[in-house]
Amino acid sequence: MSTVNTDIDSKRRMISRETPWIRRILIGLVLTYVSLLILLPILSLVVNAFQDGLDAIVSALSQPDVIKAFRLTLLISLVVVAVHAIFGTLTAWVLVRDRFPGRIFLNGLIDLPFAISPVVVGYMLLLLFGRNGLFAPILEPLGIKVAFAVPGMVLATLFVTLPFMIRELIPVLENLGTHQEQAASTMGANGWQIFWRVTFPALRWGIIYGIMLTLARALGEFGAILVIGGGIQGRTETATLYIYRALDERQYIGAYSASLLLGLFSFLLVIGTDLIRRRERK
Amino acid sequence: MIPNKLPWGRWAVRGAALTYLIFLLIIPLLVIFRDGLREGLAGLWHQITLPIAWHALLLTLWTAAVMTLINTVMGAITAYVLVRYDFPAKALINSVVDVPLAIPTLVTGVMLVILFGPQQVLGAWLKEVFGISIIFAPPGIVLALLFITFPFVVRVVQPVLQNMDRTQEDAAVTLGAGAWTIFRRITLPPLILPLTSGALLSFARAIGEFGSVVIVAGNIPFYSQTAAVYLLGEVESENRLGASAVSIVMIAIAFGLMMLVDWLQRRDRRVYK
Amino acid sequence: MSIVLEKLTKRYDEHPVVNNVSLEIKDGEFFVLLGSSGSGKTTILSLIAGLVPADQGRILLHGRDVTWLPPQQRNVGFVFQNYALFQYMTVTDNVEFGLSIRKVPAIKRRQRRDELLELVGLAGLGNRMPWQLSGGQQQRVALARALAYQPDVLLLDEPLGALDAKIRIELRRNLKSIQRKLGVATIFVTHDQEEAFDLADRIGVMSYGRLLEVGTPEELYQQPQTEFVASFLGTANLMVGRLTSQGVNLGKWHFPKPKDIQEIGTERRVQVLFRPEDVALAPDAADLDCPNLGQADVEAVSFAGAYERLRLRLPPIPGVRPISPVVAFGSDFFLIDATRSPEQASRFPLHPGEKAWVGVHRIHALAHPGLNFLILTDGSPRSEAAISLGGQIGRLAHARVTLLGCGQTTEQLDAHLEEARKQLGSGLAAIETLLISEPAVHAVAQAVEKRPYDMIIMGFGYQEDLQLAEQILEAGEHNLLLVPQPQPTPSKALICVAIGEPGKDDVLFAGRLVSHLSAEATLLSVLPSSVHDQNMNSRIERFLEGGVRSLSLLGVPAKTVVRSGLTSEEIYTAVRENGYDLVVLGAPLSKPGRRISLGGVVSQTLEKITTCSVLIVRSHYYRG
């Protein structure tokens, strides 16, 4: 009959003790706030993007420079995701399972990209790879261009998306605990086998979520790649940089359409991840 | 404790992770610090106390502070409402909380300009009736920051509320306490730490925000130009000393805040529950 | 009267968690509510405190009707199972909380706090935080906190459950002496029978939301009124016997009438109870100074500190059905639990495999409730068949029969019920009629809520009634007898079993019923035609042989048959060839949400068999 008890418990949780008035005011407050702050702006973007009809949007998005911009965004994002999937997993592993001096400090550093302004990120890379940068004497003779070129933009996006994968995997690794891995080793499995057959399957979902969050963030990167990339039309212009330019040039339909598309894509990505996560938990 | 063998040996893995971090984090930071302190602390101080720079920094700080205050209160209320009450559209609101994380900040700026811009119905009406400009003015900055940091407080408070031991509240009820007393003395105390860390997270995030602000604020020096936008200006005009100095200040604030949040979260875990 | 509960009922999802409970607790009394988890005892406490609103009934504290008052105004002290101390406050703040709410001035608060901390043995620990204290200390703070403002009533919800055994015992003694000193009426909830005995002035035993019996520990232990209480409160040897004017008969063994049975009345069946300490063991019948039950084999002996525990095997006593200790499926002997003091053990040492004569010093007789049937009728001709067969079986089984009239309420139905009642009236242990003018399913649900039944009997036509049958099975824990047409009392039963735990329940209930009918039984197992596995065959044989043994213990002659093919086909063929007039099938295990689907074997069989009754037996394995 234990099912009865847990049902009772979950019903009990819902009971609130405040008067109905307070409840109504608080709910109303939240509904108003969320509608005005979040729902309404989204709605207005959609409405305004469609103000000349779907055809206008399609034709705006079919412009060659728009297509090029989106392609560049995708390219950079996919490279970044690939790098973080591998190295992010490794780093998470080392941080959770290994003990070495300075671990806590390093742990704190990982969160830094959350808080550092993207402009600062771009600037830092400029100092390293720009004309008078630290690595300039090494790279110039080799003809490798990092600043004001795609490689620089990849680096910038790598920096700002650093924490996502690691932060997703650390709790998963911690929860997993070492017991399963130890059990496997007592049953004769070597390091590789343990990793592939015991650890990796358990990390699978964490890695997937991490990839999706990294991707969503990378798609939307703006400030850093503006600084390090320069926004050179046709060469270092991503979707976000295109939108910036379009607004500047008062090509509103173009700007809104691209915003809509970019926003929609990221939105679906994150909400999709959320839904899968919630269903998987059940 | 690592099982007896990591793939490729323990040191190779450590090395790879370390390289990854060094290249992407540590070297860039070192470079900026070296650059900004080229003329010593005095030079740094001079750069940031230039009137434009100083104003930009102060504007950044107070808009972030105002936003943090509003966000903390509304985030707490939202979390409470989502956990304790049942109402139509509850599932919708719960999902909407995460939306700001999904939307590129640039797009956020665009949306807000569309909705509240001076040419738009809402914006014009607000200007006429209340004399408030939102877009291309500091209130717009606060609004954009509120949008972006909305999930931070809510998602930090929600799990704590969800997992709270309701029997303490039951006990208080049998002892005679009314709803407000229960809230004040029993529900609220465990929320202080999460609220604080959520607030600090929002604040830290807001300091460096660029994408939405550059669209929404209008970037008028001495009026609506934040530190990040000012920095962009310095970079574009190749004023390295100024750029580096401001960068250092922003990094220091960000780093300090993140350390504080980390410390708070570790403290929270240590309190016996 | 400090606490009075009148017909208190609380439902969750239409399921009564507290079912019509009435109780009176005197001033200063230490009352223990005893029951297993899910019995509703914690919910009663929450109802009294006001943490949960009641659906029906009244609660009076010191004469005040508090049924609709919020907890804050009831002035109760509540000690929770997980202590529920305020984690962010010191011990002092916790204890003083109730007083500060009542705006007691600081000086008085501190005085009271010191009194209480001393009372519970925690003087000087006021400044500690809850997480700095041990479990036992935290519980004492919880107690002090609840007592600080001198509540009218003290409620404790399994407060010692999370503590180690030694601490539990010590805290228990403290608790009792504190309660005695303060004289506050107290309800203590627990599932631990030993704890209940130690603490209680009176105990109330609860099961599935109902309050079964109330009495002092000695009363409930020595003279329980129900089978559940008898076996819950300690080891019980329980079997069905007959009470006559000369005494109590267990088959051929005779015992004098227990002193506490006053009225003679008619001869009737009773449950005979004797406790392990009432058993005497001797090498020879002549050495016993009390009536005996024959010679037994010792099955197990174990050392329990202050005494020796034994389990013995008795040959079956014809006409006597054992209830407790439970006899495993497939055995054909009785079990007896006995305890002896070390001196007795040394005088006549016993080891497994040896023999001893079993004597019983003292017995107690409980009313044997027998079986409880519900006959469903809506006035249609098919119901007639159900009524007539149900009546016959009920008479033979000495069952209590309830006639439930359902469907539209008309004078016809009323008259029809009266007539049926007269028809059945003689020879039944008890008969009553119920008229609930709702569709059959709801009527059954309401009837079952008032009292559970062992079996529901209804007229059945495959086309119309399959879904109804499913719904009725879902409504409670009863078995279902489907009667397609009028027929005489069954004399040949076919029990179709699937081997495995649930199948055992099918055999045992069917056997019990069949033994009342003095019918013979055949156990049938059907193999899917494709399986020819030696392993499987021997498992089936073993199971069926076990079934035969269990049936013989119940006095039912049985044989076995194994066939292979499509199950429903084989059953139908068997019925046709051999003229069985009762078919027993096991109901499928229920799905989540307590839904039962009779699809598959059961429905196929029901479709084919239209001439004889089918009994669908619920296995107990559907529960949790």
Sorted by sequence, the CB contacts under 8 Å of residue A109 that are 6+ apart come out as B21, B25, B26
Residue found under tokens 């089936």: C540
- How much is the pLDDT for C623? 43
- In tens, the pLDDT along C23-78 reads 999 999 999 999 998 889 999 999 999 988 999 999 999 999 999 998 888 899 99
The rounded Cα C476 to chain-centroid distance in angstroms is: 14
- How much is the pLDDT for B13? 66
- Residue C433 φ/ψ, nearest 5 degrees: -120, 150
Contact C12 A3 (CB under 8 A): no
Output the six-digit token pair for A263.
Answer: 């926003």
> Taking CB atoms and an 8 Å cutoff, what residues of chain C touch B175?
97-98, 101, 145-146, 149
C209 shares contact with chain B (CB less than 8 Å): no
The residue of B165, B170, B174, B191 whose CB has the most chain C CBs within 10 angstroms, and thus the best one to mutate to test that interface, is B174
The rounded percent of chain A whose pLDDT value lies above 70 is 93
pLDDT at A47 over 60: yes
B204 shares contact with chain C (CB less than 8 Å): no
- Give strand pairing partners of C12: C15
Pairing status of strand C334-340 against strand C279-282: unpaired
Higher pLDDT, A144 or B140: B140
Which residue is closest to C52 within chain B, CA to CA? B170
Sorted by sequence, the CB contacts under 8 Å of residue B52 that are 6+ apart come out as B221, B222, B225, B230
> Are residue B21 and residue B46 in the same domain, yes or no?
no
User: Can you state the angle between helices B10-21 and A64-97, rounded to 10 degrees?
Assistant: 130
pLDDT at C442 over 50: yes
Subunits touching B (CB < 8 Å, at least 3 pairs)?
A, C
Per DSSP, C245 falls in state S
Contact B106 A255 (CB under 8 A): no
Distance of alpha carbon B130 from alpha carbon B116, whole angstroms: 14
pLDDT at A208 over 70: yes
> Are residue B98 and residue B197 in the same domain, yes or no?
yes
- How much is the pLDDT for C300? 94
| pLDDT classification of C178: cutoffs 50, 70, 90 | very high
> Are residue B14 and residue B75 in the same domain, yes or no?
no
Single-letter amino acid, residue C317: I
- How much is the pLDDT for A133? 80
Determine the structural domain holding residue B21 and report its residue range.
1-36
Element spanning C405, H or E: strand C400-406
pTM: 0.78
Mean pLDDT of all residues in B16-43:
79
pLDDT at A52 over 60: yes
A142 shares contact with chain B (CB less than 8 Å): no
Mean pLDDT of all residues in C104-121:
93
Distance of alpha carbon C345 from alpha carbon C342, whole angstroms: 5
Contact C145 B272 (CB under 8 A): no
pLDDT at B271 over 80: no
Mean pLDDT of all residues in C190-203:
95
Distance of alpha carbon A216 from alpha carbon A269, whole angstroms: 7
Distance of alpha carbon C196 from alpha carbon C218, whole angstroms: 11
- In tens, the pLDDT along B182-215 reads 999 999 999 999 999 899 999 999 999 999 999 9
pLDDT at C486 over 70: yes
Distance of alpha carbon C479 from alpha carbon C371, whole angstroms: 11
> Are residue B93 and residue B156 in the same domain, yes or no?
yes
Query: How many C-beta neighbours within 10 Å does residue B82 have?
Result: 22
Cβ contact B201:B152 at 8 Å: yes
- How much is the pLDDT for C172? 93
- In tens, the pLDDT along A73-117 reads 999 999 999 999 988 888 888 788 777 777 777 777 787 788 889
| pLDDT classification of C381: cutoffs 50, 70, 90 | confident
- How much is the pLDDT for A282? 59
Contact A1 C12 (CB under 8 A): no
Give the one of C12, C37, C624 whose C-beta lies nearest to A7's C-beta. Answer: C12
Higher pLDDT, B271 or A127: A127
pLDDT at A177 over 90: no
pLDDT at A7 over 90: no
> Taking CB atoms and an 8 Å cutoff, what residues of chain A touch B259?
108
Which residue is closest to B273 within chain C, CA to CA? C87
The rounded percent of chain A whose pLDDT value lies above 90 is 31
The rounded percent of chain C whose pLDDT value lies above 70 is 96
> Are residue B105 and residue B151 in the same domain, yes or no?
yes
> Are residue B159 and residue B73 in the same domain, yes or no?
yes
- How much is the pLDDT for B69? 97
Distance of alpha carbon C357 from alpha carbon C290, whole angstroms: 11
Distance of alpha carbon C449 from alpha carbon B205, whole angstroms: 60
| pLDDT classification of C598: cutoffs 50, 70, 90 | confident
- How much is the pLDDT for C594? 65
Contact C13 A8 (CB under 8 A): no
| Average pLDDT of chain C, as a whole number | 88
Distance of alpha carbon B270 from alpha carbon B267, whole angstroms: 5
> Are residue B103 and residue B19 in the same domain, yes or no?
no
Query: How many C-beta neighbours within 10 Å does residue B155 have?
Result: 18
- Give strand pairing partners of C585: C616
B175 shares contact with chain C (CB less than 8 Å): yes
Sorted by sequence, the CB contacts under 8 Å of residue C275 that are 6+ apart come out as C221, C222, C234, C235, C236, C237
> Are residue B89 and residue B17 in the same domain, yes or no?
no
> Are residue B11 and residue B49 in the same domain, yes or no?
no
Distance of alpha carbon B229 from alpha carbon B215, whole angstroms: 10
> Are residue B264 and residue B210 in the same domain, yes or no?
yes
- How much is the pLDDT for A2? 36
> Are residue B68 and residue B151 in the same domain, yes or no?
yes
- Please report, in angstroms and rounded to a whole number, the separation of the first and last CA atoms in chain B: 27
> Are residue B109 and residue B15 in the same domain, yes or no?
no
The residue of A4, A9, A13, A282 whose CB has the most chain C CBs within 10 angstroms, and thus the best one to mutate to test that interface, is A4
Query: How many C-beta neighbours within 10 Å does residue B35 have?
Result: 19
CATH of the domain at B157: 1.10.3720.10
| pLDDT classification of A200: cutoffs 50, 70, 90 | confident
Subunits touching C (CB < 8 Å, at least 3 pairs)?
A, B
B268 shares contact with chain C (CB less than 8 Å): no
Q: Distance from B195 to chain C by nearest Cα, in Å?
A: 16
> Taking CB atoms and an 8 Å cutoff, what residues of chain C touch B273?
87, 131
pLDDT at B113 over 50: yes
Mean pLDDT of all residues in B80-105:
89
Which spans in C554-608 are helix H? 567-578, 601-608
If phi > 0 it is left, if psi is from -120 to 50 it is alpha, else beta; for residue C80 that is: beta
> Taking CB atoms and an 8 Å cutoff, what residues of chain B touch A100?
14
Higher pLDDT, A179 or B93: B93
Which is nearest to A231 in space by CA: C565, C449, B236, C223?
B236
Interface A:C, Cβ pairs < 8 A = 22
Mean pLDDT of all residues in C484-504:
85
Distance of alpha carbon C281 from alpha carbon C6, whole angstroms: 47
Could you give the number of structural domains in chain B?
Answer: 2
User: Can you state the angle between helices C601-608 and C462-474, rounded to 10 degrees?
Assistant: 140
B98 shares contact with chain C (CB less than 8 Å): no
Cβ contact B227:B213 at 8 Å: no
Single-letter amino acid, residue B60: T
Q: Distance from C38 to chain B by nearest Cα, in Å?
A: 19
Contact A1 C13 (CB under 8 A): no
Distance of alpha carbon C23 from alpha carbon C584, whole angstroms: 42
Q: Distance from B219 to chain A by nearest Cα, in Å?
A: 13
